[in-house]
A and B are shown apart, each in its own frame.
Chain A
């Protein structure tokens, strides 16, 4: 183990220098019924660039159809867009599932489509679910209600995402609604969870004091962006390039990679 670690560190020195990535890893689009009408690809990309971000993840509720459009909208800019989804497990726990490729995300989507109840969206109650192109132009409505629990258990979701090579980050763990701590009591000890997200409503220090059990996990903070002004962009990664493998190393603080949540209050 010791030798392996040393050789890896030596390797690092020969590689490209590490870069700073300022990121927001929890962004909804107009596909999420609860998101604002302005959450279309060009405006998401513009806002992210305007506030100095170079990494975002698109995470609609149990859906991924707008991910390619946002990736296209960011082409040619300094912004990297990671394909993602905010999955809802059968325990009503929300999870950020992040990937390197749309193909990996599509495999998770297949699993979600099989286990998400086929209930039609009530637009008046929940809001519109729009699939759009890279300019934000309407393509079609998603009929099935996305804000619902899949029949994937927390553990099944963890194994599925991990096997696909993705990052598994329980979202807003401090929140009563759809948060891990309220629903499952504590982080399941036998799963090797990459990181936990806290919501914007609490500081990192407050979260650690209020929930001592999460202190030992890498903690990120996101804006859970439903409206364009929700961007927080407070996670700063020091990595070689914006890939899942690099983010994992940053969470583990190995090979010179690191991350921190910068104060925003």
Chain B
């Protein structure tokens, strides 16, 4: 599954610079709002679903080489966080839906917790 399909189907807002999202493969999904858990639980090229919008999410995504972050419930990262994400080439997307609903849609699309 590529990121462009996910953005289209879930109608996600793109918070960071636009690029050709169809070339970005998404291999797995992970959800937690505790950054220490994400650091040990998420997988490279995975999609991270979270309500957290603090700038530390950018460093975590960069550390793990994640495909993208979906920030839920319209939580808004500040401009500094968006700038940092662009600088580190991290993709941040946004949804008005809560974690549960976003994950449900991704699951229906066939995205699972671990890469196969």
The answer to whether A and B belong to the same complex is yes
Number of B residues near A (Cβ < 8 Å) is 15
A185 touches B35 (CB 8 A): yes
Assess A183 versus B59: contact at CB under 8 Å? Given A91-B52, A154-B54, A188-B54.
no
Q: How far is the CA of A153 from the CA of B80 in the complex (A)?
A: 13
Query: Which residues of A sit under 8 angstroms from B59, Cβ to Cβ?
Result: 185-186, 189
A185-B60, A186-B59 are known contacts. Are A91 and B36 too (CB-CB below 8 A)?
A: no
User: Considering only CB atoms, which chain B residue lies closest to A92 in the complex?
Assistant: B33
Cα A184 to Cα B59 in complex, Å, equals 11
| Identity of the chain A residue whose Cβ is nearest the Cβ of B53 in the assembled complex | A153
Q: For B36, list chain A residues within 8 Å (CB).
A: 181-183, 185
Please tell me if B38 contacts chain A, counting CB pairs below 8 Å. yes
A181 partner residues in chain B, CB cutoff 8 A? 36
B39 within 8 A of A: yes
Q: Mark B31-55, 1 if CB is under 8 A from A, else 0.
A: 0011111110000000000001111
Q: How far is it, in angstroms, between the C-alpha of A184 and the C-alpha of B52 when the chains are bound? A: 9
Q: A155-B78, A182-B34, A183-B34 are in contact. Are A190 and B55 (CB under 8 A)?
A: yes
A153 and B56 contact, CB distance less than 8 A: no
Name the contact of A186 in the complex, choosing from B33, B52, B56 (C-beta under 8 A).
B56
Which chain B residues border A91 with CB–CB below 8 Å? 52, 54
A residues contacting the other copy or chain, number (CB 8 A):
13
Report yes or no: B54 in contact with A153, Cβ–Cβ below 8 A.
yes
Q: Restricting to A177-235, which residues have a CB under 8 Å from any CB of B?
A: 181-186, 188-190
- With a cutoff of 8 Å between Cβ atoms, the chain A residues found around residue B55 in the complex are 155, 188, 190
Question: Please, which residues of chain B bring their CB within 8 A of the CB of A153?
Answer: 53-54, 78
Q: How far is the CB of A230 from chain B (nearest CB, A)?
A: 26
Residues of B within 8 Å of A182, CB to CB, are: 34-37
* A241 nearest CB across to chain B (Å): 36
Q: Contact: B54 with A155, CB < 8 Å?
A: yes
Q: How far is the CA of A64 from the CA of B55 in the complex (A)?
A: 29
Rounded to whole angstroms, the CA-CA distance of A153 and B35 in the bound complex is 15
Taking the nearest CB of chain A, how far is it from the CB of B85, in angstroms? 14
Residue of A whose beta carbon sits closest to that of B38: A185
Q: How far is the CA of A190 from the CA of B39 in the complex (A)?
A: 20
Return B86 CB to nearest CB of chain A, in Å.
16
Q: How far is the CA of A182 from the CA of B37 in the complex (A)?
A: 7
Closest to A89 in B: B54
Q: Give complex CA distance A91, B56 in Å.
A: 11
Bound Cα distance A189, B52 (Å) = 17
Say yes or no: B34 contacts A188, CB within 8 Å: no
CB distance from B113 to the nearest CB of A (A): 20
Chain A nearest CB, measured from B82 CB (Å):
13
The residue of chain A having its C-beta at the shortest distance from the C-beta of B35 within the complex is A185
- Shortest Cβ distance from residue B25 to the other chain A in the assembled complex, whole angstroms: 25
Q: Which residues of B contact A (CB under 8 A)?
A: 33-39, 52-56, 59-60, 78
26 contacts between A and B (CB under 8 A): A91-B52, A91-B54, A153-B54, A154-B54, A155-B54, A155-B78, A181-B36, A182-B34, A182-B35, A183-B33, A183-B35, A184-B35, A184-B54, A185-B35, A185-B36, A185-B38, A185-B56, A185-B59, A185-B60, A186-B35, A186-B56, A186-B59, A188-B54, A188-B55, A188-B56, A189-B59
